[in-house]
Structure 1
């Protein structure tokens, strides 16, 4: 008698792969995320930019593309800064290509609504005191249900949402 075992992939790693697959399939999101990532990087390599941020009492976390919650936190931090003030600083430092538009803000809002549950799932599975395997099923179903519900409301990130749904189903179901 042969017993077949099914290997369960690392949940956190697979969630990151889902995020990467989704972002690859959405040009609008990729463009905005690139601007935000470059702005975050610039805030850490330019002392003038960092000083201007200090005056605004603002900081931007370094973006780590290998962690989707890092991307989520970087995006939320950038948009906690007054966009007009940020754009003025970028313009004055000859970085007008990084200036954020109203469209970028709308994309950000949709991105955050989509990735909020991913962020929550990653926080939960990293908890040391809870049995994380018991969270996998409820997290996946919650994320999938939320995406299917949000899909009809989206304007700029509809292709991202569809790619996330497809990838979730392919990788987990």
Structure 2
């Protein structure tokens, strides 16, 4: 029996994409270093904290720094930018920490950093959770992040190197998704995130369906047909198992007796082909909640339903990122 491939953790991989890119982008280091020192000062000096709180309020406290968590760094930057720049500089100078004041260029650089990383934070949050479907968001998230970075290229003023680094790392670490030819190998090595479950899950979640296959996201126009074919092939491998609801089972029990075999039983319609089911699904999928959608349509789309409940149950991330 073939060994089952273990899926990679999406949140951890995205953590590596952003973390490595931030380390490579030296221009952002001075600003983040000041932010880290400011955060540390707020958490170690009660005198400075009192002055800071008096000016900005206790709710504006900057979270403590954690070097390995870029999403916490993003949260720190967001909180910092809620402060008035000039007032913050005045508070720091008055407290004898003028060296921690942010220059206008550094302040604008941090604003640009938030614009760049905010969608990465959204993708991380979207693909985590124990009681929600997460696997279906992987492919749309990765492709949307790539498109987000592509759009930013002509707009950024300070962090063009970060945008390039993020896009290169995203393409490398999620190579299987960008190849789209899922489960294909290069030089005998399986590309990361190349398991077909990612495509099938995205396609069978009505919140995404095949709407994520757009010309500005993927170049090839043949991809949509290929993804649809993969889902149809998966559905065709399912054995047709008729659904019998509780009421029908009760009726059958009531008719049991000496001549029960002579009673004409109602025929359940399980004859629609996976191809017709897929076509119907694509027509009616328009952003519905996946769990509710498949609960309502499991009898009309039986073959697709069995594929959907299997692939959508796979978690995208193995553990939550703090």
Q: Same fold (TM over 0.5)?
A: yes
Displacement of 1:7:
4.2
Displacement of 1:5:
5.5
Higher helix fraction: Structure 1 or Structure 2? 1
**Which among 92, 95, 102 is matched to residue 94 of structure 2?**
92
User: For structure 1, which segment, 40-49 or 121-130, has the greater mean C-alpha deviation from structure 2 after superposition?
Assistant: 121-130
1:111-150 matches, cutoff 5 A: 111-150=113-152
Larger radius of gyration: 2
In 2, Cα distance between equivalents of 1:99 and 1:129: 44
| Matching residue of 1:25 | 24
- Cα 1:157–1:5 shift into 2, 3 Å: farther
**Which among 134, 157, 160 is matched to residue 159 of structure 2?**
157
Residues 68 and 119, structure 1, Cα contact 8 Å, conserved in 2:
no
In 2, Cα distance between equivalents of 1:6 and 1:172: 16
Displacement of 1:114:
0.6
List structure 1 runs of 4+ shifted beyond 4 angstroms: 2-7
Residues 81 and 111, structure 2, Cα contact 8 Å, conserved in 1:
no
Q: TM-score, normalised by structure 2?
A: 0.51
Displacement of 1:62:
1.5
In 2, Cα distance between equivalents of 1:32 and 1:4: 47
Higher relative contact order at CA 8 Å, sep ≥6: structure 1 or structure 2?
Answer: 1
Q: TM-score, normalised by structure 1?
A: 0.92
1:15-94 matches, cutoff 5 A: 15-55=14-54, 56-57=56-57, 58-94=60-96
In 2, Cα distance between equivalents of 1:80 and 1:157: 21
In 2, Cα distance between equivalents of 1:126 and 1:166: 24
Unpaired segments ≥5 residues, structure 2: 176-322
| Matching residue of 1:109 | 111
3-state SS of 1:153 partner: coil
Unpaired segments ≥5 residues, structure 1: none
- Cα 1:62–1:158 shift into 2, 3 Å: same
Q: Work out the number of aligned pairs and report it.
A: 172
In 1, Cα distance between equivalents of 2:7 and 2:171: 14
- Cα 1:4–1:170 shift into 2, 3 Å: farther
| Matching residue of 2:319 | none
Displacement of 1:61:
1.4
